[in-house]
Amino acid sequence: MIEMNQPTATEIAAADLSYIERLILYALRQWVADEERWPDVVLEFNRSCGPRAATRICEALQSTFRTLGLHARRQIRLHPLICCRVSPDELCLLNILAAHQSQSAFHGQAMINWLVSRNAAGALRSDIDLVARGLFEAGYMLDVRRAPEIHTPRLEQTTSSVH
């Protein structure tokens, strides 16, 4: 996984996300930046979800991040820890969780297949399911989000008649 600093046209702002979505992104970025600070992440999930749910959610998140790091089809692009932007890969992870919560199995599986190789898809799906269920049981429902569209001028096709 790599950190990126340059914005791309398909990014959304972290301010557009719910608190729990920002916490999930923080967990991902913290795990990549400094795994020794993971107890801070667990503490924040404890505050948000309760100790029992937080333990299950955080263990499943760690396994999710490890699977992504080891089996990604390409380099996963992340922003630095305190950046206010959300990369397409970060958004994809949030959308996989949201798809699993809404039981959109085909949508979730398609995004998983986009991120990781076939032999890791089952493990990732399992971990994502644990996170999604844990968040739901703690009262958090995630929304599937779309990246902002790039508005480019459309070329108008003109018809001309020849006499």
Model pTM score: 0.82
Structure tokens, 38? 């993971």
Amino acid at 49: C
Cα-based angle 41, 110, 92 (whole degrees, multiple of 5): 35
What are the tens digits of pLDDT across the range 60-92? Answer: 999 999 999 999 999 999 999 989 999 999 999
Confidence of residue 152 (pLDDT cuts 50, 70, 90): very low
Please state, in angstroms and rounded to a whole number, the distance separating the CA atoms of residues 38 and 76.
20
Give the chain's radius of gyration (CA, Å).
Answer: 18
* Integer Cα distance of 26 and 13 in angstroms: 14
Of 140, 118, 109, 119, whose CA–CA distance to 17 is shortest? 140
115, 76 contact by CB (below 8 A): yes
pLDDT in tens, 5-52: 454 445 689 999 999 999 999 999 999 999 899 999 999 999 999 999
